[in-house]
Amino acid sequence: MTWEIIFVFSLLCFAIVSFIWERISADLTAITVFGVLIFVSMISGSTELPTLENILGVFGNSAPLTIAGMFIVSGALERTGAIDLITSYLRRLVKLPYKSFIFIMVIGVAAVSAFINNTPVVIVLMPVILTLSREMGIASSKLLIPLSYASIFGGTCTLLGTSTNLLASGILRDSGHAPIGMFELAAVGLPILAFGALYLVLFGNKLLPHRETLTSILSDEERKEFMTEAFVRPGSDLNGQTALDSGLLKGRGIRLLEIVRQGVAVPGDPRETTFQTGDRLVMACRPSGVAEAHSIKGISLPDELSEGLETIAVDEGAIVEGVVAPHASIAGKTLGEINFRQRFRMVVVAVHRKGHNQRERLASLHLQEGDTLLMMGSTKAINSLTNSDEIILLDRPRLPARSVRAKMPIAITLTVSIVTLATLNLVPIVAAVALGVAILMLTNCVKPKDAYASVEWSILMIIFGMLALGQAMDSTGASLLIAENMINLVKTIAPEHLQNVMMLAFIYIITSTFTEFLSNNAAVALMVPIALGIAATLGIDPRPFVVASCIAASASFATPIGYQTNTYVYGVGGYKFFDFTKVGLPLNIICFIVTVTVVPMFWSF
């Protein structure tokens, strides 16, 4: 074993541990691997490590460009309201029994997700599902995991269903093999969809937990809070004191949300801020606290303005839930750094993340994509958040403007055209996607700024980093070493006529395990080159192994971190980590059995 192989294995171990540990983001891990690889390759002068030109050659891979284009296409479909077509379809089903509703929902969502990126489908439909769950009188946790799983089922059916399929197809083509066809994976994906839907219909209600959403941590009294504003009067005893020192909030059913001084919100904890004459106090009062607020000495409320100050209407506050959106600029920052109260005119009451509700130390908590926020604010403030790109409100769907909705036929037609061109092999899929994106921008279906914001740049960085690592594994012989050891293991434990199938099973299990704890794109970028090396060593067609890797990388059900859609419903549904394992592990086993059984029938070794 050469030092180059040891170095590459060290990089691989670093990437795996970093992905699981999550101390730094997955894309930063990939960028680190990319940078270290270039640096060592340049200073060592090794002929076994890939050259600078070869490493930078990963940017010439058409798969990431195609994936970026499809993100934009999906973004255009979302912004024009095309995904909302399924909303009216689902609303008609609320009177159906639970099992019938689940079956039709899974089939419908899977059909859409087969051609549109999974994440916007789930993001758009989450508020709809939450509304429908209330109308049906069942817990939203009985519907949100099936929503995520349905989008994953759809992704296994077509080339465009998920970025992993496009990435695997690009690696396969770059290795001198025919790329994956548009509906080639349907031979495995459709049986998985059928068995998955049947499983959720028969066992979903029993296995899915009854979990409450974030608002359940509030009492009925807390949900009926009113918001009001008052001034600190000249000569008031409150002047120079804090809310905590003055006893303003003690036992009064009142919460101080914000202090506005000379038109600007005072940063920091309002309870620990020293009052000054003229300060405007934004308070939340429960019904029992409204009368108390009127009796407080030293402040002026709207109906007792003796100092000639402007009248401020008392406004009923509302409690709403929202999710930190993909690509949100507020992700990675604390509420204080964002100046959340002043920016959104809303107060964060609690944050739900990874199965836990947090109500303490919120000011120092760094927000993450997928965090569920429990917020309180006025009706006006809530309405201004309806179409926000930062926070997705869960009690109301986002509605595109009429001028944008009128562009929906163009977006749908272009999507159908891309699928048709790719299916008939009239042009390479990257050419069809590039032209489609250009037309979408030229017709104002999506503005360039919004188009670029639709791209999951972090995913592309992961792909580039892992492609470079895969290239290094190939050039140093690390992939061949892994392939030979896997082949020797299979030859030891399986009879000759079952060895190819056993190898197929091994590749599926390893890819699936990587996907659950790393990233689906990272799993494919690492495993497809190994699968190609195994096939080359055995002298057989690599296609069955590549197909198995594609399905395993998509069929991520057992953890909430393996697939982004699982991560989003994780917070919204109030789930615990083990809920996904309980429901998803049997699905992983079903997908494994279906893949290992069906693949040899359609793709010969």
Same domain, 322 and 310: no
Local structure of 560: helix, strand or coil: coil
In a domain, 569, yes or no: no
CA atoms 418, 423, 424, 427: torsion sign: positive
pLDDT score of 543 more than 90: yes
Rounded CA-CA distance 418/421 in Å is 5
Quick one: pLDDT band at residue 359, thresholds 50, 70, 90?
Answer: low
Rounded CA-CA distance 298/291 in Å is 15
Residue spans of alpha helices (H) in 265-407: 287-295, 335-338, 340-344, 379-384, 402-405
pLDDT score of 427 more than 70: yes
In a domain, 175, yes or no: yes
List the single range of 27-41, 79-93, 94-108 with lowest mean pLDDT. Answer: 79-93
Region 320-346 average pLDDT: 82
Same domain, 172 and 107: yes
Same domain, 79 and 189: yes
Last residue of a domain, one of 260, 295, 316: 316
Region 82-93 average pLDDT: 78
Same domain, 105 and 171: yes
Axis-axis angle for helices 3-21, 457-476 (nearest 10): 150
pLDDT score of 57 more than 50: yes
CA atoms 377, 380, 386, 389: torsion sign: negative
Same domain, 204 and 331: no
pLDDT of residue 400: 57
Rounded CA-CA distance 561/575 in Å is 12
In a domain, 102, yes or no: yes
Same domain, 324 and 438: no
288-313 pLDDT, tens digit per residue, is: 454 455 556 666 654 433 332 333 33
pLDDT score of 344 more than 50: yes
pLDDT of residue 268: 78
Give 73-134 as a DSSP string. Answer: HHHHHHHTTSTTHHHHHHHTTTTS-HHHHHHHHHHHHHHHHTTS-HHHHHHHHHHHHHHHHH
pLDDT of residue 302: 45
Residues with Cβ < 8 Å from 44, sequence gap 6 or more?
none
Rounded CA-CA distance 213/231 in Å is 36
The whole-chain average pLDDT of the chain stands at 83
Same domain, 361 and 306: no
Higher pLDDT, 127 or 143: 143
Same domain, 70 and 199: yes
Which of 467, 418, 392 has its CA nearest to residue 119?
392
Which residues partner with 392 through β-bridges?
A: 323
Q: What residues make up the domain containing 116?
A: 66-212+402-454
Region 48-57 average pLDDT: 89
Range with top average pLDDT, 221-235, 289-303, 325-339, 350-364: 325-339
In a domain, 555, yes or no: no
Which of 15, 23, 1 has its CA nearest to residue 468?
15
Number of domains in the chain: 3
Rounded CA-CA distance 177/155 in Å is 22
Which residues partner with 350 through β-bridges?
A: 374
CATH number at residue 382: 3.30.70.1450
